[in-house]
């Protein structure tokens, strides 16, 4: 099959390039038309409707995997139109193209669609109540994709970390190397989730979703009389929204302390700074964050037989990867990917 990967240089997109490769022809696309190493790829700027339309027409994909998004949570409060364009309207356009051409869409959503007031892990059908522009535009994107009529998988995830890109783990490593003390919020709780796990689960879910090598498009496009094959029926039955995060939960403070401890043990830090807990009030931000971002992944497990290990296992894997990179003579860059 042909898979169009939007946002191919982001944390999840980087991992998806490897994870999706066994499924078929992966067409990587980025906003600039370049991969991180400078290699040319398809250009797809979700802020530009014409650019997105051209990319969709050029790729003619059977599956569109959208790992692109406007993710600057605080800046979104000052750039609501841009966040709206990328996170919402572009999803409606992707969905409309996919519905017209019988393609399928995989999209990544966020814990920020919830307000964080829950006392148990959020389920997919729990009421949404985003606190800011980022969450509202991401929720609007979910709704636009659902309304498009395209067969889709929406994976809500949270607290993504990786050995590359811009994320909390790599920021903590940089600050830990510069400071004697780190003060980290302890009253926001979630589940740190490796980008590699998200990519691997995505690939497994697409395979289970009734792939067919691109020889058949789903539903009415390939069956104008309305008759569905068993593969089509399976694809439509599994389509929907799923939560995808690591097991367990912790606060940002807990996560930071574990990062520092694990990094020091692997020689990634010459010394381990003190890590002190603070409240969200002690660290005000432009946009409000959910205090509780733990997501219930039971639906994912039941539908696809997929279950994520505990977040500590994922942290160990990311730190091991960073240590291996340093052992090969590379440095730990904390700058975001292009």
DSSP 63-96: EEEE------TTGGGT-HHHHHIIIIIHHHHHHH
Q: Which two tokens stand for residue 251?
A: 């606060």
Q: Shortest CA distance to 249 belongs to which of 131, 159, 149? A: 159
What's the confidence (pLDDT) of residue 12? 97
> Is residue 95 exposed (0-12), middle (13-18) or buried (19+ Cβ within 10 Å)?
buried
Q: What is the pLDDT along the chain (338 residues), one digit of tens a residue?
A: 999 999 999 999 999 999 999 999 999 999 999 999 999 999 999 999 999 999 999 999 999 999 999 999 999 999 999 999 999 999 999 999 999 999 999 999 999 999 999 999 999 999 999 999 999 999 999 999 999 999 999 999 999 999 998 999 999 999 999 999 999 999 999 999 999 999 999 999 999 986 443 334 444 333 333 444 444 455 558 999 999 999 999 999 999 999 999 999 999 999 999 999 999 999 999 999 999 999 999 999 999 999 889 999 999 999 999 999 876 655 555 443 32
What's the confidence (pLDDT) of residue 336? 38
23, 5 in Cβ contact below 8 A? no
**0.85 exceeded by pTM:** yes
167, 160 in Cβ contact below 8 A? yes
For the chain, how big is the Rg over CA atoms in Å? 20
Phi and psi at residue 284, in whole multiples of 5°? Answer: -65, 145
**13 three-class SS:** helix
Tokens 């995997």 belong to residue: 65
Distance between CA atoms of 177 and 310, rounded to whole angstroms? 27
Distance between CA atoms of 58 and 53, rounded to whole angstroms? 9
What's the confidence (pLDDT) of residue 91? 98
Centre a 10 Å sphere on the Cβ of residue 181 and count the other Cβ atoms it contains. Answer: 10
Tokens 């009030």 belong to residue: 281
Residues 6+ apart with CB under 8 A from 137: 70, 76, 80, 83, 84, 86, 87, 88
Q: Shortest CA distance to 182 belongs to which of 74, 90, 255? A: 255
So which residues are the catalytic ones? 134
């Amino acid at each position: 099959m042909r898979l169009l990967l939007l946002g191919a240089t982001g944390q999840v997109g980087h991992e998806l390039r490897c994870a999706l490769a066994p499924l078929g022809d992966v067409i990587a696309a980025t906003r600039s038309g370049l991969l991180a190493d400078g290699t040319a790829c398809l250009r797809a700027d979700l802020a530009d409707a014409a650019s997105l339309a051209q990319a969709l027409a050029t790729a003619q994909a059977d599956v569109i995997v959208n790992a692109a998004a406007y993710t600057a949570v605080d800046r979104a409060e000052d750039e609501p139109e841009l966040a709206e364009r990328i996170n919402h309207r572009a999803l409606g356009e992707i969905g409309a193209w996919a519905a017209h051409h019988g393609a399928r869409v995989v999209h990544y959503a966020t814990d920020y669609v919830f307000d964080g007031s829950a006392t148990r892990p959020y389920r997919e059908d729990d009421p949404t109540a985003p606190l800011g522009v980022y969450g509202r535009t991401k929720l609007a994107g979910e709704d636009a994709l659902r309304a498009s009529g395209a067969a889709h998988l929406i994976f809500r995830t949270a607290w993504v970390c990786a050995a590359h890109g811009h994320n909390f783990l790599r920021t903590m490593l940089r600050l830990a190397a510069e400071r004697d003390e780190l003060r980290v919020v302890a009253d926001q709780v979630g589940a740190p989730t490796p980008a590699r796990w998200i990519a691997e689960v995505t690939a497994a879910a697409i395979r289970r979703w009734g792939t067919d090598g691109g020889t058949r498009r789903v539903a009415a496009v390939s069956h104008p009389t309305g008759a569905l094959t068993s593969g089509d029926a399976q694809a439509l039955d599994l389509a929907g929204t799923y939560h995808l995060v690591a097991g367990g939960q912790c606060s940002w403070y807990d996560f930071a302390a574990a990062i520092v401890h694990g990094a020091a043990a692997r020689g990634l830090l010459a010394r381990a700074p003190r890590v002190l807990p603070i409240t969200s009030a002690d660290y005000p931000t432009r946009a409000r964050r959910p205090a509780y971002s733990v997501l219930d992944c039971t639906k994912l497990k039941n539908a696809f037989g997929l279950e994520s290990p505990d977040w500590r296992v994922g942290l160990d894997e990311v730190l091991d990867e960073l240590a291996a990179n340093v052992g090969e003579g590379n440095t730990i860059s904390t700058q975001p990917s292009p």
